[in-house]
Amino acid sequence: MLSPDGQSIAWVSDASGRDEVYVKKLDSQAQAEPLTVHGGVEPVWSREGLLYREGDRVVRDRATVFEGRFVKDPGANAADYDVDPRGKFFLMLKSAGRPKEIRVVRNWAP
């Protein structure tokens, strides 16, 4: 995922033996270091920074934004959630099998 300002990129790699989120400035020659240390998948940029999933938690700046059981990409290669460009709405799939309702959560940022 390319950051909104086009300066950084975030991705998932299992080079350590488990999925971890990595972030790197595009103009840097430094080696990329993992952002996560206990596993992480599905990085998504928001206006406030990078979000990613650790198990059932959605995390930003190593703090839980919220927690719940939501649909995940089995390969963890693509995020199954998104944040609107203005940072006001957050969208996640609760069940892809039989959706019964759509919930819009406003003011989700701590």
Tens of each residue's pLDDT in the chain, 110 residues: 899 899 999 999 998 899 999 999 999 898 888 999 889 999 999 888 899 999 889 999 889 988 988 877 666 567 888 888 777 788 887 665 666 677 777 877 66
Q: Determine the pLDDT at residue 25.
A: 92
Answer whether residue 77 is part of any domain: yes
Q: Determine the pLDDT at residue 44.
A: 92
Residues with Cβ within 8 Å of residue 37, at least 6 apart in sequence: 20
Total number of domains in the chain: 1
Burial category of 108 from C-beta neighbours within 10 Å (exposed 0-12, middle 13-18, buried 19 and up) = middle
Sign of CA dihedral 28, 30, 32, 37: negative
Answer whether residue 1 is part of any domain: no
The residue assigned the tokens 């996640």 is 92
Answer whether residue 3 is part of any domain: no
Q: Determine the pLDDT at residue 108.
A: 73
pTM, full prediction: 0.77
Answer whether residue 54 is part of any domain: yes
Q: Shortest CA distance to 58 belongs to which of 104, 91, 103, 107?
A: 91
Answer whether residue 87 is part of any domain: yes
Answer whether residue 30 is part of any domain: yes
**Helix, coil or strand: residue 100:** coil
Q: Determine the pLDDT at residue 35.
A: 92
**In angstroms, how far is CA 15 from the centroid of its own chain?**
19
Domain that holds residue 92: 8-106
Answer whether residue 2 is part of any domain: no
Answer whether residue 42 is part of any domain: yes
